[in-house]
């Protein structure tokens, strides 16, 4: 018994329409919001007087700890619309905000792995302001690998920075881990990502609504 399939061309045209329309709506919705994330991240950059004074006097040579300059950090933050491509089976919208400068990257993530730095001692506080310092390990990297007259430098550096911001939990989205915590771009994304995801969902729903209306009109 033969099987007759009717309307395949119309269906394929409809799928092509959905793909192009959705891509156009998603790009239009995401682009201004991601630019806003970049602008907000620049606003989180501290001035030169708001970081440890020694950081603004650091060396500038290759291999040296990069000198902090707020203008350099701000200039290193930007937005890229990415490679928004259409494929035979769908499309990709790849917009991103970057933090490209060395001091900006350090300010963004310092202490994310070791919130207390790499100090060789850990203080156990007692009553009052005093406490007991305990050696973490006789093989501490603060002694072995860093040629510094101050083994507490890492701890003091991180203590002078604000805490890193974690990403919010959003229904239906995978939660961010340690690598999505930060003080500039990641902080701005944490604040704006809920409405960006909402904008994407609205763009997708708008495509579905428009397609349904068009289909109903054709049937009628």
- What digits encode the pLDDT tens for the residues 186-207? 999 999 999 998 998 898 888 8
Is residue 118 domain-shared with residue 34, that is, in the same domain? Answer: no
Ramachandran region, residue 26 (left: φ > 0; alpha: ψ -120 to 50; beta: rest): alpha
Q: Are both 178 and 214 inside the same structural domain?
A: yes
Distance CA 24, CA 207 (A): 10
Residue 14: is its pLDDT beyond 80? no
> Domain range spanning residue 96?
8-110+161-219
- Residue bearing tokens 């550096």: 157
Rounded to 10 degrees, the C-alpha dihedral 207/209/215/219 comes to 180
Assign 176 to helix, strand or coil: coil
- 45 with 128, same domain? no
- Asked, for residue 1, whether it belongs to a domain, the answer is no
Same domain, 202 and 105: yes
**The pTM is what?**
0.74
How do residues 126-162 score in pLDDT, each as one tens digit? Answer: 655 555 656 566 555 555 555 566 767 777 888 899 9
Strand positions, DSSP E, 19-149: 77-80, 85-87, 90-92, 96-99, 121-125, 131-135
Let me know whether 144 and 48 are in one domain: no
In this structure, are 124 and 136 located in the same domain?
yes
One domain, residues 80 and 167? yes
Does residue 2 form part of some domain?
no
Q: What is the structure's pLDDT at 154?
A: 79
165 belongs to a structural domain: yes
Same domain, residue pair 102 and 14: yes
Q: How many domains does the chain have?
A: 2
113's tokens: 């792995």
66 and 28 assigned to the same domain: yes
Of 78 and 148, which is predicted with more confidence? 78
Q: Which pLDDT score is estimated for 179?
A: 86
Give residue for tokens 């970081």: 51
Q: Which residue has the tokens 């054709």?
A: 218
In this structure, are 65 and 125 located in the same domain? no
Higher pLDDT, 120 or 192: 192
Instruction: Please tell me whether residues 82 and 121 are part of one structural domain.
Output: no
Over range 92-104, report the average pLDDT: 88
Beta-carbon contacts of 34 under 8 Å, excluding residues fewer than 6 positions away, are 79, 95, 96, 97, 196
Does any domain span residue 104?
yes
């Amino acid at each position: 018994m033969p099987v007759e399939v009717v309307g395949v061309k119309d269906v394929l045209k409809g799928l092509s329409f959905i793909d192009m329309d959705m891509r156009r709506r998603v790009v239009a919705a995401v682009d201004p919001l991601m630019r806003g994330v970049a602008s907000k991240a620049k606003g989180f950059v501290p001035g030169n007087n708001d970081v440890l004074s020694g950081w603004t006097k650091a060396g500038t040579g290759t291999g040296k700890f990069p000198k902090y300059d707020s203008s350099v950090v701000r200039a290193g933050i930007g937005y890229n619309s990415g490679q928004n491509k259409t494929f035979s089976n769908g499309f990709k919208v790849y917009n991103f905000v970057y933090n490209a400068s060395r001091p900006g990257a350090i300010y963004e993530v310092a202490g994310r792995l070791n919130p207390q730095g790499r100090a060789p001692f850990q203080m156990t506080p007692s009553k009052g302001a005093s406490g007991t310092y305990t050696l973490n390990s006789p093989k501490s990297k603060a002694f072995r690998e860093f040629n510094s007259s101050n083994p507490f430098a890492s701890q003091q550096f991180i203590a002078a920075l604000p805490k890193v911001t974690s990403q919010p939990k959003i229904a239906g989205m995978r939660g961010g881990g340690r690598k999505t915590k930060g003080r500039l771009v990641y902080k701005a994304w944490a604040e704006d990502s809920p409405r960006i995801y909402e904008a994407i969902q609205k763009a997708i729903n708008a495509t579905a609504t428009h397609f349904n209306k068009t289909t109903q009109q054709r049937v009628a």
